[in-house]
Every structure is written in structure tokens, then in C-alpha cells.
């Protein structure tokens, strides 16, 4: 194992290697097409995991006019979109996995008397922790 030390001039050095950070270069990398494709690939992995976790039949509120059991529309409504200039400060690539089913909110967060499924949250968390542990 090698070690690095930060010197008084702000550079990191390790056995003859020097590195001086360039914030504009790092910003360009975070907002590059390469980073957007990487984020999009990761979002597609989360999408596949969510589709596997999603129940085929779900219970939705009757007051919304939907039937008690859904036809599986929730499971087939996962989508991914990606773009540059994303994030809170609009300075990085961003990919978003979402579900546009009318019942998505109630599946994710539950209803009165119904426990939430948290499908998207579980899919994203498992991907974050590592899919190899699934």
C-alpha cells in the first residue's frame, strides 16, 4: 500500500507523482457526455431491479376510480431519462429513473391502511449497496 502526502503548496505527491486539482476540469468531466452515459447505465440497472421487485398485482385506493387490483401497469411504467446540466446546481450529468403510472405514488408511499412498497427506494438502495449481495 502506498501513501500520499499533501504538501504546503497544495499538491499531493506519491513516489514522484504530483497532482494539482483543476476545478474547471473536474466540472467539465462531471458535465460530460461520458458521465451522462455512465449515469444512464446505472439508472437502467436500478430500473431492471425495480421491475423485478414490483408486484404484478397491487392494491390502489378505490376513491381514485381504479380497480382494487391493478393490471400490472405499474410494473411496465418504469422509465429512464438523462441529460447534462442536471443536479441542484445544474453543473453535472444526471439520470433519473421514474415511474409514470397513475398508481406509482400509492405503491411507493402507501395509503391509509396499506403499507408502502417502496419499490423505487429499495431498488436504488440495493444498487447503491451493491447488486452482488442480492
pLDDT tens, residue by residue, 57-111: 655 556 666 555 556 788 889 999 999 999 899 999 999 999 998 888 888 888 8
64 located within any domain: yes
23 located within any domain: no
15 located within any domain: no
| pLDDT given at position 134 | 43
92 located within any domain: yes
Strands 78-86 and 92-99, by their bridges, are antiparallel
The total number of structural domains that make up the chain: 1
126 located within any domain: yes
CA distance 25 to 27: 5
| pLDDT given at position 40 | 95
59 located within any domain: yes
Amino acid at each position: 500500500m502506498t501513501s500520499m502526502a499533501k504538501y504546503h503548496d497544495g499538491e499531493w505527491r506519491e513516489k514522484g507523482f504530483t497532482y494539482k486539482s483543476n476545478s474547471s476540469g473536474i466540472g467539465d468531466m462531471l458535465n460530460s457526455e461520458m458521465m451522462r452515459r455512465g449515469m444512464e447505465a446505472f439508472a437502467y440497472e436500478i430500473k431492471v431491479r425495480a421491475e423485478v421487485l414490483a408486484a404484478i398485482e397491487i392494491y390502489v385506493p378505490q376513491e381514485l376510480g381504479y380497480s382494487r387490483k391493478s393490471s400490472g401497469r405499474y410494473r411496465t411504467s418504469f422509465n429512464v431519462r438523462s441529460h447534462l446540466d442536471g443536479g441542484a446546481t445544474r453543473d453535472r450529468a444526471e439520470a433519473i429513473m421514474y415511474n409514470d403510472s397513475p398508481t406509482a405514488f400509492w405503491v411507493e408511499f402507501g395509503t391509509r391502511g396499506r403499507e408502502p412498497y417502496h419499490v423505487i427506494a429499495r431498488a436504488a438502495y440495493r444498487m447503491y449497496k451493491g447488486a452482488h449481495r442480492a
